[in-house]
Amino acid sequence: MTTVVDIESDPGAVERYRRDWQALFASSPGEPSTSYEWVRAMCDTHVRRDDAFHLAVLRRDGCVCGLVPLVLSYESVAGVRVGTLVPLMERSRTHSDLLLDRRDAPTVAALAARLRALPGWDLFRLAQVLDSNPLLDALDTAFRATGATVLRRPEPPSFYLPLPATFEAYLADRSGKFRNHLRRTEKKLAATGALAVVTAGVDIAFDEAFDALLAIEARSWKHAHGTAISAIPHQAAFYGRMARGMLDAGVLHLTLLTRAGEPIAYNLGVTCHGEYAYLKTSYVEACKALGPAVVLRARLIESLIAAGFRAMDFPAEPYEWEAQWASHHRPHHSLTVYNRTLRARALAWVRRWRDARRPAAAGDIAYANARDLRPPVEGA
CA distance 121 to 115: 9
> What pLDDT sits at residue 263?
98
pLDDT at residue 377 greater than cutoff 70: no
CA distance 3 to 112: 12
Band (pLDDT 50/70/90 cuts) for residue 380 is very low
Any bridge partners for residue 71, and if so which?
Answer: 53, 86
Q: Are 301 and 282 in contact (CB under 8 A)?
A: no
Backbone angles phi, psi at 117, to 5 degrees: -80, -10
> What pLDDT sits at residue 364?
64
- In this structure, which amino acid lies at residue 116? R
Mean pLDDT across the chain, nearest whole number? 94
The residue among 333 and 376 whose pLDDT is bigger is: 333
> What pLDDT sits at residue 375?
60
pLDDT, mean of residues 2-27: 96
Question: Would you tell me how many other CB atoms lie within 10 Å of the CB of residue 299?
Answer: 18
> What pLDDT sits at residue 360?
62
**What tens digit of pLDDT does each residue of 295-340 get?**
999 999 999 999 999 999 999 889 999 999 998 999 999 999 999 9
Query: What domains sit in the chain, N to C, each tagged with a CATH number?
Result: 3-154+332-358 (3.40.630.30), 164-309 (3.40.630.30)
Any bridge partners for residue 263, and if so which?
Answer: 258
pLDDT at residue 164 greater than cutoff 50: yes
CA distance 15 to 36: 9
Question: What is the phi-psi region of residue 260: left when phi exceeds 0, alpha when psi lies from -120 to 50, beta otherwise?
Answer: left
Q: Are 102 and 61 in contact (CB under 8 A)?
A: no
In the 3-class helix/strand/coil scheme, how is the chain assigned residue by residue?
CCEEEEEECCCCHHHHCHHHHHHHHHHCCCCHHHCHHHHHHHHHHCCCCCCEEEEEEEEECCEEEEEEEEEEEEEEECCEEEEEEEEHHHHCCCCCCCEECCCCHHHHHHHHHHHHCCCCCCEEEEEEEECCCCHHHHHHHHHHHCCCEEEEEEEEEEEEEECCCCHHHHHHCCCHHHHHHHHHHHHHHHCCCCEEEEEECCCECHHHHHHHHHHHHHCCHHHHHCCCHHHCHHHHHHHHHHHHHHHHHCCEEEEEEEECCEEEEEEEEEEECCEEEEEEEEECHHHHHHCHHHHHHHHHHHHHHHCCCCEEECCCCCEHHHHHCCCEEEEEEEEEEECCCHHHHHHHHHHHHHHHHCCCCCCCCCCECHHHCCCCCCCC
> What pLDDT sits at residue 362?
55
Band (pLDDT 50/70/90 cuts) for residue 378 is very low
**What tens digit of pLDDT does each residue of 348-363 get?**
999 999 888 876 665 5
> What pLDDT sits at residue 148?
96
CA distance 251 to 243: 9
The predicted model scores a pTM of 0.94
User: What percent of the chain is predicted at pLDDT more than 70?
Assistant: 96
> What pLDDT sits at residue 376?
58
The candidate with the shortest Cα–Cα distance to 133, out of 365, 279, 315, 318, is 315
> What pLDDT sits at residue 104?
95
pLDDT at residue 379 greater than cutoff 60: no
**What tens digit of pLDDT does each residue of 257-284 get?**
999 999 999 999 999 999 999 999 999 9
Between 233-249 and 206-218, two packed helices, what is the crossing angle to 10 degrees?
Answer: 150
Measured in Å, how far apart are the chain's first and last C-alpha atoms? 39
> In degrees, to the nearest 5, what angle opens at C-alpha 321 toward C-alphas 315 and 322?
35
pLDDT at residue 51 greater than cutoff 70: yes
pLDDT, mean of residues 49-76: 96
> What pLDDT sits at residue 79?
83
Q: How far is CA 377 from CA 227, 322, 374, in A?
A: 11, 27, 9
The candidate with the shortest Cα–Cα distance to 21, out of 8, 31, 35, is 35
CA distance 109 to 141: 8
The radius of gyration of the chain from alpha carbons, rounded to an integer in Å, stands at: 22
